[in-house]
Structure 1
């Protein structure tokens, strides 16, 4: 009886062990499935991160294209004005040259006979008076100088536009941020004209190793944002302050306006992509988010101080660890 009891007990123990083994095996299979699922989820996360990085790059590029598109009409206007008076001056100069040639021809025809033909001499004098030779001589110099100045202005606008876009310079390089600011101001001059007085308060700021074209885009976005903030602000003449300086191993660029300011309910969202309070079609909501992404890629940050009804100040901080000393 005892032996039979022991056999049954051993059989029960064996069955329990087998059940336990089966349970363990099932847990191992479940763990393996969970690991496979986790690996798949990790791969999916990597794919999504890659897509996010690609989308961010496209967002920055799209924001630049949008900003350039907004400025295209202004740049065309800036180029068209000097070209117009160059064209008009060249036409005037052509008329002057024709008159001068007529006088010269008259002198050449009568040079040997002036002493013997008083009528020819009188005709030459009348022609000289009709063409107002003395005035033409003076005005021709002024016209040529004005034409040269117009052409120089066109060249400067084109040069500043190239410096702003830096289409062929995508690599990091040493750049003077004051020069970048000035190029951006020149490109945005049409937007600024009649909207705001620009007050420069530049401090010491060493050349920085950066992507100048991208920083130009940040400056442009913040400038356009300041100009838009001035619309209907009611704070008197619009003013935009540009300040620069350094603090320890950080350089900073500040753009301040006396516009409408940003309400506390909007402030947390201003750097979100596609967030805008402007009318449909009047803004994309990409400018500030693009600026944030570019400055973050440079190892910097953007701080905002604002007060409704008084204006806003955007300060860009950039590390100076990469400078001309490297």
Structure 2
């Protein structure tokens, strides 16, 4: 016996409603999942399978754990139980690897009337998340730039008269040595000469230290300039940006590894020197943190710079612990980090990729667990220099 006219009409209405829903979802790029109390997919509505972990046909009738894995399924199950128990809607965010790329989603859950199931409206918010992390990093960099400018200003004044006084002392010691060498009858001359020599050595070390501080202050000023003084359309001396970053990272590097520099002269690129310096500094600090302290003679951070085929290539290679293959494919994802809690935020490399991409370049990484990691930054030569104008 066939279905009654009422049931046939209801079926047609449901099919028409579902088709209208598919049209709406197609306009919004959203997904709708209906999932029962056991976490099993009852319905999957989407314009395409592009944002699904597996094709739609493979999801139907399977559980969240089977499709997404226990780690991602857990918050879904918590929300399902909450909505079914309280009858109240709920919202949460989660991330998922789709086609080798980490994407972020926002899910709104609501109980389905007269069914022990929850419908989730899921939206892709990856771009929004990316913008949020850029704004967060911009705020942090603005604060750091202000602090760096203040520190460099406060240090510059006392440093200038310390350097001046050291030069005065050096000139005085030189006169004393000249007098001592020509004088006769000086008692205990050998002791006096040793004392003078020790003073000269101490003075040389003090002068080297103040020059180091002078360079650090200059590096802080460069870092603090920001985009107002150094836009993405400027000409960037890549070697200078790299050397400045090495100087700033040296306190972290010197106790962990030998720093080997192979920096060839290269033509300028178009972009921002301060932002490129930020990229190099981040990569150098990552290299330092990948190597344990205590054995600098057994480890190295090798920095190379050269030009080829209209591009400027820089590489930072460390002999650290390396990155596992499963983490390597996520290394540029926002908020992903392999560092311990409190050490890394997972923002640095995502920001680096954004900066390099904005400069029309590419950043890539190769790594072997137990042997080390190599980051490569490739930037196009600025057009005016590439044509020889």
TM-score (norm 1): 0.60
Unaligned runs of 5+ in 1: 1-26, 42-47, 101-127
CA contact 1:163–1:180 (8 Å) conserved in 2: no
Which structure has the greater CA radius of gyration? 1
Q: Secondary structure at the match of 1:269?
A: coil
**Separation in structure 1 between the aligned mates of residue 359 and residue 249 of structure 2, nearest angstrom:** 24
Aligned match of 2:88: none
Displacement of 1:164 in angstroms is 3.5
Aligned match of 2:212: 153
Tell me whether 1:300 sits opposite 2:361 in the alignment. Answer: yes
Q: Secondary structure at the match of 1:255?
A: strand
Encode CA deviations 1:52-107: one digit per residue, 9 max, x unaligned. 674253144256479989x99xx99xx8xx97xx69x98xx7xx99xx9xxxxxxx
Aligned match of 2:323: 262
**Separation in structure 1 between the aligned mates of residue 191 and residue 262 of structure 2, nearest angstrom:** 50
CA contact 1:181–1:219 (8 Å) conserved in 2: yes
Pick aligned residue for 1:225 from 272, 286, 291? 286
**Separation in structure 2 between the aligned mates of residue 67 and residue 308 of structure 1, nearest angstrom:** 33
**Separation in structure 2 between the aligned mates of residue 233 and residue 145 of structure 1, nearest angstrom:** 28
1:1-326 equivalences in 2 (<5 Å): 54-61=131-138, 64=141, 138=196, 142=200, 147-167=206-226, 169-172=229-232, 173-231=234-292, 237-324=298-385
Aligned-residue CA RMSD (Å) = 4.8
CA change 1:233–1:299 in 2 (3 A) is farther
CA contact 1:180–1:216 (8 Å) conserved in 2: yes
**Separation in structure 1 between the aligned mates of residue 144 and residue 344 of structure 2, nearest angstrom:** 10
CA change 1:323–1:193 in 2 (3 A) is farther
Aligned residue pairs: how many?
248
CA change 1:256–1:67 in 2 (3 A) is farther
**Separation in structure 2 between the aligned mates of residue 313 and residue 201 of structure 1, nearest angstrom:** 15
**Separation in structure 2 between the aligned mates of residue 197 and residue 235 of structure 1, nearest angstrom:** 6
1 or 2, which has the higher helix percentage?
Answer: 1
Displacement of 1:161 in angstroms is 2.0
Q: Secondary structure at the match of 1:188?
A: helix
**Separation in structure 2 between the aligned mates of residue 289 and residue 36 of structure 1, nearest angstrom:** 33
Stretch of structure 1 that moved more, 187-196 or 228-237: 228-237
**Separation in structure 2 between the aligned mates of residue 250 and residue 179 of structure 1, nearest angstrom:** 17
CA contact 2:256–2:295 (8 Å) conserved in 1: no
**Separation in structure 1 between the aligned mates of residue 317 and residue 367 of structure 2, nearest angstrom:** 9
CA change 1:226–1:160 in 2 (3 A) is same
Spell out structure 1 runs of 4+ moving beyond 6 A.
Answer: 34-41, 65-69, 232-236
Displacement of 1:301 in angstroms is 1.1
